[in-house]
Structure 1
Amino acid sequence: NYYLYGIDDKFLDVMSMKLVAGKNFSNNPPSNDHRILINEEASRLLGFRSPEEAIGQKVSLDTGNDDEYSVVIGVIRNYHQQSLKEAQIPMIHWFSQDVSNLFAIRLNTADMQSAIDKISARWQSGFSGHVFDYYFMNEMFNKQYAGDLRFGKILNLFAGFTLLITILGLLGLATYNASRRTREIGIRKVLGASSAGIIRLLSRDFLRLVFIAILIAVPLCWYVANAWLQGFTYRINISWWVFAATGSLVALLAMLTISIQGLKTAIANPVRSLRSE
């Protein structure tokens, strides 16, 4: 199965499409009879080993006339006619100058509204009685990913809240742990323990739990991310360094949070804490 579209000789330039083999349609319409352009995917499905091999080959377009063939004169680099969630579409283009209800126009101007007004005026002069409607191709394609963009924003929002709650929870636990061990810390300081040693003492157990949580979370995150990416025919591979960098950042934030409370406890006057005990 393939998609068949009629285009003219200006279509490739307007759409910034590249030929990987052969040539474009001529601006002399009669010379384009029974000539076609195909994309790389169509070339592959037709059994050609390379785009160059497809040039000059005859292809039947199943028009009902078994004796009618079209000659491949060019192969276009694959382009995405639909969302990246869809597989690459095999495309075949024949030359057509028939009147269409859809025109592709490339604009190169900063005053977009003025250009649209001029196009609208030309449309009304040539197609009076028909409503002029337009859309920008980049906006049309972006709409296909609106749901994914919303999902990404919501995910970032929840991730931010989760990180904030985690930091506040760690800070609260560190404060409680320090207050519970006030006498121990005071004795250690009187006996010559350094501030760095006190911080390590208070941070060790918490950081161990943080690293265990990271080891559990990384495989789960990898699984969920890959399951989501399965919805795309063309998708990226998530590298290991993404999880390593994220885990390191979380560990660093946890370390800073716990160390701040540990430092406050370490520099406190031990005499005061022992007197209260």
Structure 2
Amino acid sequence: MEGLLAGVLCLIVTVSAAPDPTQWITAGNCGISSGRAPDPFIVGGAEVSPMYKWPWIGSLRSSGSHICGGSLIKSTAGRYFFVTAAHCTYGSNANRLSVKIGTHFRADTSESGSMILNVNRIINNPNYRATTLENDISILVLTNSESIVESNQIRPICYASRDHYAGEVCTVIGWGTTSESGSSAARLQEASKPILSDSQCSSDLGSNNYYSNSMLCSGYDAGGVDACQGDSGGPLFCQRNGVWELVGIVSWGYGCARPGRPGVYGDCWNLRDWVRQTIDSN
């Protein structure tokens, strides 16, 4: 798949029906933000302002250098985990990885209130396929997560409590490149865009490339808003009933923000059974 670009997305959702509490995977007091979503019609991205308004974002690092984004979640048993894309961790050694949370800057800058968490174990979805990027999700077990103290700067996101729908406007954030083949962002960036129907995704991306059982896609026909290199594993999230839910994980795309080429995300709702089982057993 020439020009594939990995990335992670989370959704900002227009509320329709209340989520079913029986579907909750993560603990309460999640998905709370001190800010609002960016303009849903923004072209490209803008720096997140105020800083730390999306307190679940984390930077996945290999030997101290940023490689991907990801999201902090908290199980109903009270344990913290980091959710990212399997293509970010596939073939990696846990002892070389770390996660920085409570951060606004991509570089290893000292920030008051931020934390570095070591990775104890990488759990990739067993059905992940590197050739097609199906089931592109990984859960990282954190070594020192008991030291996390939640604040306006560090807080878990709620996992998806229901399926997405076409037209739902969501937010994606990350430190990836700000243009195709461009330079990585030094500060956290954000943009909003709508989720598309599976039929539209399949038409735009090809039925041999888009697998609706583990993927969703998001973007505008005219392009201009997308995740890019370095955003992989990051969240696509939506606001539902006053809290933010992790709806997608930046996975891949044809270039960045090209017309008729929406970005593709791991579908958190369709992957929920594996996520629930994994965090409940770890």
Q: Report if TM-score (shorter chain) is over 0.5.
A: no
Query: Higher relative contact order at CA 8 Å, sep ≥6: structure 1 or structure 2?
Result: 2
Q: Give the number of the structure whose alpha-carbon radius of gyration is greater.
A: 1
TM-score by length of 1: 0.18
TM-score (norm 2): 0.18
